[in-house]
Amino acid sequence: METGKKYAVWLKDDHARAFVGVDPMTSRPSTPSRWLVLGEFLGEETTGFWLRVDHVEEWTAMSRIGQVFFSHPACLIPWHAIITVQAGLETFEGVTQKLLS
């Protein structure tokens, strides 16, 4: 990953709920969600990497459920929480529209 580049990071449901501060016991949908974190890579640590988060979206298998905004956008994303990382993004414009089509 390159510093300053934009990435789309997919997180596992339980880890993402802890990441955004959503209680997994009271707000779990009937099917597990995947979470899309869009942000700029800031650097790497042994336990994960730093991302300047633009926004976070919760997805089920069929659609986007909602969007979360952060007041402190620099976040450490632990390696064990990641499903996959999409690289090569110039902008986040249209990323979710491409996912829906």
Torsions phi, psi for 82 (to 5 deg): -90, 135
Which is more confident, 65 or 12? 12
Give the CA count within 13 Å in the CB-facing half-sphere of 35.
25
User: With 80 as the cut, is the pLDDT of residue 43 above it?
Assistant: yes
Residue 59 to residue 79: CA distance in whole angstroms: 20
Strand residues in 62-101 grouped as ranges (E) = 64-68, 74-78, 82-89
Which is more confident, 80 or 100? 80
pLDDT band at 87 (very low <50, low <70, confident <90, very high): confident
Q: Using the 8-state DSSP alphabet, how is residue 17 labeled? A: H
Q: What is the pTM of this model?
A: 0.75
Residue with tokens 């300053």: 4
Domain boundaries, the chain: 6-100
